Amino acid sequence: MQKTTWTKKLTILLAAVCVALVGLSSFTPAGAQEWLLQVDGVPVSRAAYSYFLSEALKDAALDSNGRPKDMAALRKDVAARCVEYIAVNSELRAMEIPVDQMLKAEVADRTAFYWQVFGRYYTSIGVDKQTLNAILMGQAARDQLFRAIYDTGGMRPTSEEALQAYFYGNFVAYDGMRVFRTALREDGTERDMTPEEAAALKATLADFVEAANEAEDFYGVAQEERFAAALSYGMPSFAVIEKANAAAGGGGEISAEDFEKVRALPRDRISLLDLEGFLLVATGVDMRDSEDEYYRGYRADCLWALQGEAYAKTMKELCAMFRADENAGAVERFYREWKW
């Protein structure tokens, strides 16, 4: 995204009006006289405001009665969410990027699912299905704008080589199963194994690995009575695991040390690894042999990991160009009527 000029800013503001007339039609229903918030002249309806409030409440500090401890901070958060929605759609329009038709279809399916599952809740807070679809489309547009800026061929492109390097440096696959050091209590709940129980489990798994390698049959040996219980009656499967703290903002599942152990797994025989949190019985997998199955499936995650922090800064700069004005009286009445 280039430094914004006055011409670019005017384009974005005009785009915001277009968004109001098209993409945001559900924000201000026909006949509605009272708006709660305007973003550079684009009114936000009660339905849209209610949705963004419900989302903001998930992140707000609440008192024992379920009410926000800082009402001013909550209102500021809701306004920021409204601004981002309009800013993203306006920027896409200014960049002359059409809405992805496949994305629209995916959002329609997601809307139908959300409405079926949470429709009663949305109705109770005044959110109709049309508004829900518009907001979910806005969330998808945020990802579309991200890709338009940072994906290969974008305004600030990330090379395919950098994405692949990140993936193969932070993700690893195996064919096998995890076995946790837990045991069942009589009431059906789980507890950690004692050191003696954990040692016995590891010894049984070592015997299993030896027997399975000798028979060259993971599945058949896993079903033998002497091993089935230790393996929790499970069967091996392919899985991808991420190095801890690999993605921006944290994440991942295993430490760097354990990650290297999994990456070093032989591909021609079963091995037993003693990792933090669980034991792993598995063979290694060369993900480069199935790029579509592995790399392509995680490519979007890698792009976010590499550029997510930069995008957050870009979004902050973009949203700063838009002004949100509250209808103070209407907003105060709205909060008094909200069912906390």
Q: Is residue 26 part of a domain?
A: yes
Are 152 and 166 contained in the same domain? no
Are 129 and 202 contained in the same domain? no
Are 64 and 35 contained in the same domain? yes
Tokens standing for residue 114: 């959300």
Rounded distance, CA 20 to CA 23, Å? 6
Are 271 and 246 contained in the same domain? yes
pLDDT in tens, 72-84: 999 999 999 999 9
Are 134 and 246 contained in the same domain? no
Contact 111, 129 (CB under 8 A): yes
Q: Is residue 83 part of a domain?
A: yes
CA angle at 108 for the pair 102 and 112, rounded to the nearest 5°: 150
Are 188 and 122 contained in the same domain? no
Tokens standing for residue 269: 């025989």
Phi/psi at 265 (5° precision): -60, 130
Are 143 and 169 contained in the same domain? no
What is the predicted pLDDT for the residue at 3?
Answer: 37
Q: State which H helix or E strand residue 42 sits in.
A: strand 42-44
Q: Is residue 190 part of a domain?
A: yes
Residue type, 212: A
Q: Is residue 298 part of a domain?
A: no
What is the predicted pLDDT for the residue at 250?
Answer: 54
What is the predicted pLDDT for the residue at 276?
Answer: 94
Q: Is residue 300 part of a domain?
A: no
Are 213 and 110 contained in the same domain? no
Q: Is residue 276 part of a domain?
A: yes
Q: Is residue 301 part of a domain?
A: no
As a whole number of Å, the end-to-end CA separation of the chain is: 41
Percent with pLDDT over 90 in the chain:
80
Are 255 and 312 contained in the same domain? no
How buried is residue 12: exposed, middle or buried, by Cβ count under 10 Å (0-12/13-18/19+)? buried
Number of domains present in the structure of the chain: 2
Taking the mean position of all CA atoms in its chain, how far away is CA 78?
A: 20
Are 266 and 333 contained in the same domain? no
Longest pairwise C-alpha distance within the chain: 78
Rounded distance, CA 141 to CA 145, Å? 6
What is the predicted pLDDT for the residue at 251?
Answer: 65
Q: Is residue 176 part of a domain?
A: yes
What is the predicted pLDDT for the residue at 264?
Answer: 97
What is the predicted pLDDT for the residue at 152?
Answer: 96
Query: What does the pLDDT profile of the chain (340 residues) look like in tens digits?
Result: 543 443 344 444 444 444 443 344 444 443 345 789 999 999 998 999 999 999 999 999 999 888 899 999 999 999 999 999 999 999 999 999 988 888 899 999 999 999 999 999 999 999 999 999 999 999 999 999 999 999 999 999 999 999 999 999 999 999 999 999 999 898 889 999 999 999 999 999 999 999 999 999 999 999 999 999 999 999 999 999 999 875 444 567 899 999 999 999 999 999 999 999 999 999 999 999 999 999 999 999 999 999 999 999 999 999 999 999 999 999 999 999 998 8
Task: State the residue range of the domain holding 215.
Answer: 162-290
Are 212 and 331 contained in the same domain? no
What is the predicted pLDDT for the residue at 242?
Answer: 95
What is the predicted pLDDT for the residue at 53?
Answer: 97
What is the predicted pLDDT for the residue at 130?
Answer: 96
Are 245 and 180 contained in the same domain? yes
Radius of gyration (C-alpha) of the chain in whole angstroms: 26
What is the predicted pLDDT for the residue at 10?
Answer: 41
